[in-house]
Amino acid sequence: MVTNVIVAGLGGQGVLKVTDILSEALFRCGYDIKKSEVHGMSQRGGSVSSEVRFGDNVASPMVPAGECDFLVVLDITQVEVVKNKLRPNGILITPDDVPKEKLTNPKALNTMLLGALSAKLPVEEKVWVEVLTDIFPEKIRALNLEMFNLGRAAAK
């Protein structure tokens, strides 16, 4: 069984950071992982997406159309761009699904949405915390852990 996750947004929103953290957490849990990225015009605020597939044995990094289990969209304008990838009973997570009023730094929206996704994946919370602690520098670590936890709590 393979689980498919797509994260989409605009350049500069942290799409690739989300899938880096996701991939590391899944790797630490022993999953086979494949990841692919589409940068597009990311440096000019254009569309960016990254796909992560995980399971016992994953052959390809690309998520086939209609096979995405979890679609995380950092900018609502990107829903139309990638919604054809979402399976009929797939889960769409957007900024409307997290408590944006508690977002103390707009640059941490990606971490808040990752928190929402994390509540739906087979990874223990302590693994997420370890990965976030390892990846984020000390000066922004506490902020990102807080936003992650707010997103996670909103999704439960």
What are 49's strand-pairing partners? 8, 38
pLDDT tens sequence for the chain (156 residues)? 899 999 999 988 999 999 999 999 999 999 999 999 876 655 566 788 999 999 999 998 899 899 999 999 999 999 998 999 999 999 999 999 999 999 999 999 999 999 999 999 999 999 999 999 999 999 999 999 999 999 999 998
What are 9's strand-pairing partners? 48
Looking at residue 14, its pLDDT comes to 92
Q: What is the DSSP letter of 119?
A: T
pTM (2 d.p.): 0.93
Q: Which phi-psi region, left, alpha or beta, contains residue 96 (left: φ > 0; alpha: ψ -120 to 50)? A: alpha
Domain definitions of the chain by residue range:
2-155
Handedness of CA 46, 111, 136, 3 (dihedral sign): negative
Q: Which of 32, 31, 3, 8 is nearest to 18 (CA)?
A: 8
Query: In the block, which residue shows the tokens 């602690």?
Result: 133
The CATH homologous superfamily to which domain 2-155 belongs is Pyruvate-ferredoxin oxidoreductase, PFOR, domain III (3.40.920.10)
